[in-house]
Amino acid sequence: MIRRKILITGGTTGIGLALANRLNVRHDVIVTGSRAQEDITETFSPNLVYVRASQSDPARAVKTIAQQLLKHEWPRLDNVVLNAGVGFAVEDGLDEVDKIRRTLDINVSSTMLIARAMYPWLSKTSGT
């Protein structure tokens, strides 16, 4: 079996982390998140590669992820799971402007920019 190279954004909690831990058994997995690695308290497979890349700054996240792929000598990707996301519950039904911007940056802008930036890595393998 060939080990696939997989990038998972938002891979430090919930579904992203569960998927990363499961896939890491047979594949090479890089996960991203916004927290410092020492602040991650969930069960985190020691074989996972963690890249701190907050998607609240879309351009910086893309640059950081690309640099880390090169650093780890990953010339290709087989799969990218764009899992990062955020949402806020508000009591009065009116979101604050900064929370709206943060939600759009993380859920939309970063997702689109990362997908666009990872295309050259994915195209080498006809990845998804």
What pLDDT is attached to residue 41? Answer: 76
Instruction: Average the pLDDT over 52-62 and give the result.
Output: 92
What is the spatial distance between Cα 56 and Cα 107, in angstroms, rounded to a whole number? Answer: 9
What pLDDT is attached to residue 95? Answer: 80
Q: Is the distance from CB of 65 to CB of 6 less than 8 angstroms?
A: no
Asked if residue 33 has pLDDT above 90, the reply is yes
Query: Residue 124 CB: number of other CB atoms within 10 A?
Result: 13
Q: Mind listing the pLDDT tens digit for each residue in 70-113?
A: 999 999 999 999 999 988 888 887 788 888 898 999 999 999 99
Average pLDDT, the chain: 91
Q: Which of 78, 82, 75 is nearest to 125 (CA)?
A: 78
Asked if residue 115 has pLDDT above 90, the reply is yes
What is the spatial distance between Cα 81 and Cα 7, in angstroms, rounded to a whole number? Answer: 6
Which positions ≥6 away from 123 have C-beta within 8 Å?
A: none
